[in-house]
Every structure is written in C-alpha cells, then in structure tokens.
Chain A
C-alpha cells in the first residue's frame, strides 16, 4: 500500500480539485464549495474508504472522477485520463455502482441486463460468457438470474448491480454506498466478494459509505472529507488513534444497579431505566469487548447486549475536533507539520500534512465553534 510514491501509474490523482455551485438564497446568489482543494493520489490495487457526512462532497468528487461533472478548478486524472475529455475511453476502465441509481433494466431478467451490458462494452461473446459465469458464481446470483430486476430483494439487486459494474473488468471500481440498507449477511457477502476481486485481479477500490464496518473490513486506507475539504488521509488504525476507536457496549441487566464505572479502558456513558440498561464506551485499542463483558458479568447478570460501531458522523466530527485541537497547539513553537510529516512516511499522514499544497493549515483552523 502506497499513498503517493507511485505517481506515474496512479489510478486516481487529483490536485487542488475544487467544485463550486451557485445556489439561490432568496434574491442573493451564494457560491458554495462542494469540494474544496482536494489533493489525493490512489495507487493501483489500493482499497480506499471515502467517508464523510451527508453533503460533505463525496458524490461530487465521484462525479468529477468519472467525467460526469467538470471541476471548477484543480486537476483530476483517473486511470491516467482526463475524465471529461476522455469520458468514453475512461468508461472502459472504470466501473461505478451508485447505490441508489440502478444500471440494470428494471423489467428485464438479470441475465439479459448482463448480456446488454456486455454488448454496451463490446465484450466478445467469449469474454462476456466467461466473466458472467465468474461473477454469477462468486456473487451467488444463480438462483435469481432469470428473475426480472424489479422483483429482486435489495440484497440481490445490489449484488447484480455490483456484477454489472464489474462485467467489463474495470481497473478501478467506485462504489457509492454499496451496503446501504442491506442486512448483515448480504453486507458480509458483498464485502468478501470485493476483497476477493481486489486480491485476484488487483482491482483498485474506492468506496463511500456510512458504515464503519465496510471501511474496517475492506479499506486499509481512509479518506475523511468534511464540508468539501480533506480532513484525514491515512491508515484506518491511524484514524482510530486520532478519534479514539470507541465502540459502545450496551448491556441489559438482570437487575438495576448503580453506574458501571471503574472498568479498565472504558467510560460509562449513560444509564437508562434506573440502571437496567447501561451504555459503556470501550477503547478498542486497549481492551476487547469480551473482557469488558466479563468485568460487567462479575458484578451483575447480563440479560442481553449489543455493540454499536462508531457512527461515521461521529468519527468525522471527532476528526474535526482533534485537528482543531492540533491546529491550536501548532501556534506554538512546534508546528503540527512535524508530527504529520512523520506519520506521512508510514502512509498514515493527515491530508493537510501529506506534503500537499495545503500545508498544515488544517480545515478547521480558526473556524471551530462557528
């Protein structure tokens, strides 16, 4: 995994990528930056999670990467091509899954959608058949191959969508919220397939998601975008360090007890129903859920439990806060760039510190609390 060293054959390379929109607010026209100065390089075979709150600029970035939208300023090259000018050539090398926008033909059987797409990408009949067989097997689509798309369950449809985007063996696969609304089993199956696809074919993956589980299981590298700006670029564990990878353990107890405080590497968050249900934040770096559970069980019987993954919005908020803190500290003699540069060498650099033109001016400098 490399973040910036293989510039020559980078699959995605943006520099100062910016997209502004004009919106009418009353009588005034306001210019808003959906994406603001994004500088990112993604090498071949990488798997990158691209996360951020709703409206943070993820979809806008994707549209610029694939040539649907022209950047207001900055550079973008995808698979070495200029996306807008060379859209047709690019489309042969990129596969995109938009969670909400189907590429399949609503009223046709899945297999027929595939054969049309085979024709659209002008695959030879041999290629098309071989690839379809492969995808059908790996995504277990056999049982519903002759079902019209409109009758598929969400999980089945999403598998078909992914297959449709991968039919022409793209070098780069971009997935926009691929697991949204899926049940646990379907999510797991899709993640495993994407991992296998990446290892077997060296496919580069870029996925946006609201599900930290997707990122944790698929993406060694994470980009966090906040209000159009890159807030973090680095390894997933580095992100955990920045935001404190806290999962929340929710326990339902046999009897109401007082707050379960004092368990190592945890923080008691709340008690509900007079102490019958308690919420405990677990620092995953230092301890594990089973250990904490054992400590709780030693005090009181546990009737039921649930583990809440960190919420993306929460992660983004904390990246933001962490950087704001750092930005304030960097006013002092030791600029934040020093620590950023150090972790940059290990591939865990923050976006602002990865040597890009944005320097150490974190996205939050001075705007905290506004």
Chain B
C-alpha cells in the first residue's frame, strides 16, 4: 500500500471515564447534536429556511385575518378568540414538526433504500428516524404561533386564573403530542403508499388546518373525523371554549378540553398501530 499517513483525528470524547460504555440515550443525543450543529453551520441556507418558515406561518395567519375581516364572528368565535385557537394549535403543531416533521422524509428513505441502514443499527427504527434530524427552522414558525397566542390571550379577555393557565398548558402539551402522533401515523402509512405521500400528508396538514378552525362550521362527518378520529380539536378549539366558557357545538362539549390527555393517548395508540402495520408490511411480515 502507499506510504503511511499521519491521521489527524478530531473526535469528541465523552468525559474522563474513557472505558465506560455510553448510556442508552447517547446514540440519539449524538445524532441530534450533530444535526443541530450542521444546520446552524450553513448560515445562509439556515437563515433562508428560518425566513421561509416564518413566511409560511405569516401567510397562514393572514388567511385567518382576511376571513375575519369585516365580520364580527365566524363559527361562533370572534377574531380575538380565533387568534387564540390559531396560536394554541400552531404552537403545538410547530413544536411537533420541530421534533417529528422529518418523519415526512420516509418516502425518500424508502425510494433510495436508505431506510435499510436504520435496520442495521441497534435501536428501534422509529426512534432512530425521529431522532435522525431536528428542524430548527420550525422555531420561526413556533414564534409566529406564539405571537398569535400571546395577542389572543390579551385581547380575547381570558380570565387570569389558574384554570386558564392549566388549560393553556394542557393544550400546548397535548397539542404537541397529538400533532406528533399525526406525523408518526402518516409515516407508518407511507410504508404502504410510498408514492401517495400526499394522501397521508392530507391528514397531517389537513389536521393542522382543521385545528385552527372553529368546529361549528364543519359538516357532521368532518366533525367526527377531526373531533374524534384525528382529535385535533383538542389542540386549540376545545381549550378555548372551556377557557372562555363559550357555547359548544353538538357532540363536542367544552368540558372535553380536560380530556386532552386521553385524546393524546388515543392518537399515539393509533400512530403506533399505523407504524407497526407499515413497518411490518415493509419487512414482509404481513399486516
């Protein structure tokens, strides 16, 4: 072989105890930290991503503002109230897409065969896929959502009580959980319909869109789907109804807002079932 080279290696080491085996979460931490560093290191590209992500959120907010222009209320909510719904739902969804958005890349992994690489590593495939990236740019989107939420909290006359605080917290935490579940469920189904990603996306992004709307305007089947099956009303609409003690539409009483954790568990059960179904089909193990 050729002349020996002097390898220059820059390898990070994890502390002083050199021979200790790293912990269970070290694999995930290593990938995520490196992804975050990589994204920030492409400054121009990252700035563009941040700006475009914020722009998307602004345009979505503009849609709501245009709709509520020159009407006092729509679907039982005023502009201030719907801002609150939008803010809660969007903060939850943005946080979910920050951590889970790249599950959307699954069809690309499937087409290029790179998904197989995940099967060769000693961690669960879903956990690896989720921690394979982090979309820092979605922070810009979360910021727009947060702004809408803060303005909504101020102008909608939310009572400054512990009850309101609890509902906001519940909505954001469960909203993030439910939205994450949507990404995972869509990912699982993408194993089955690689080229039909738009189909699975329709309930992820359709779900996001629905989460920002007052459920009163929906026809019954839509209410059943986005109220219970894909329970996005728990992300914003129901908590706002409960917070402001507004009249609720049929089949969706306001007290349901307190059951958001149940909705989150249901969404994740569905998501994991979809994932299991899809990945087992991919491995040829049948549905």
Given A105-B34, A111-B9, A145-B8, decide whether A88 and B117 contact each other with a Cβ distance below 8 A: no
Complex contact A120–B4 (CB within 8 A): no
Known: A63-B116, A67-B119, A70-B285. A124 touches B22 (CB 8 A): yes
- Cβ A129 vs Cβ B1 within 8 A: no
> Which of B10, B21, B113 has a CB less than 8 Å from the CB of A146?
B10
10 contacts between A and B (CB under 8 A): A66-B119, A68-B119, A101-B112, A105-B34, A107-B38, A115-B30, A119-B22, A121-B27, A125-B14, A128-B11
- Bound together, the chains give a CA A132 to CA B11 distance in angstroms of 9
What chain B residues lie within 8 Å of A342 (beta carbons)?
none
Q: Which of B120-128, B173-181, B234-242 contacts A (4 or more CB under 8 A)?
A: B120-128
Tell me the minimal C-beta distance from A165 to chain B in angstroms.
8
A161–chain B nearest beta-carbon distance, Å = 10
What is the chain B residue whose CB lies nearest that of A68? Answer: B119
Asked if A243 is an interface residue, CB under 8 A from chain B, the answer is no
- Interchain CB contact under 8 A, B30 and A137: no
| B124 CB, nearest partner CB in chain A, Å | 8
CA distance A258 to B6 in the complex (A): 57
A94 and B117 alpha carbons, distance in the complex (Å): 12
- B285: shortest Cβ distance to chain A, in Å? 4
- With a cutoff of 8 Å between Cβ atoms, the chain B residues found around residue A101 in the complex are 112-114, 116-117
Q: Which residue of A lies closest to B10 (CB)?
A: A111
Interface hub of A19, A122, A137 (most chain B Cβ within 10 A): A122
Q: Given contacts A69-B284, A101-B113, A108-B38, could you give 17 more A-B pairs where the C-beta distance is less than 8 Å? A: A66-B119, A67-B119, A68-B120, A88-B123, A91-B119, A105-B38, A107-B42, A116-B30, A124-B19, A125-B15, A128-B11, A129-B11, A133-B7, A133-B9, A137-B4, A137-B5, A146-B10
A74 within 8 A of B: no
Asked if B30 contacts A140 (CB within 8 A), the reply is no
Asked if A284 is at the interface of the complex by the 8 Å CB criterion, the answer is no
Q: Are A120 and B123 within 8 A (Cβ)?
A: yes
Which A residues between 87 and 103 are near B, CB-CB below 8 angstroms? 87-89, 91-92, 94-96, 98, 100-103
Please tell me the size bucket of the interface on A.
35 or more
Q: Which residues of B contact A (CB under 8 A)?
A: 1-2, 4-15, 18-22, 26-27, 29-31, 34, 38, 42, 112-114, 116-117, 119-124, 283-285
- B121 & A91 in contact (Cβ 8 Å cutoff): yes
> How far is B21's CA from A125's CA once the two chains are assembled, in angstroms?
8
**Do A98 and B12 touch across chains, with their CB atoms under 8 A apart?**
no
Q: Report Cα–Cα, A127/B11, bound state, in Å.
A: 12
Residue among B6, B19, B27, B112 facing the most chain A CB atoms (10 A cut-off): B27
A103 / chain B contacts, CB cutoff of 8 Å: 117, 120
Give the chain B neighbours of A102 by CB distance below 8 A: 114, 117
Interface residue? A369 (CB, 8 A): no
Cα–Cα, bound, A124→B14 (Å): 9
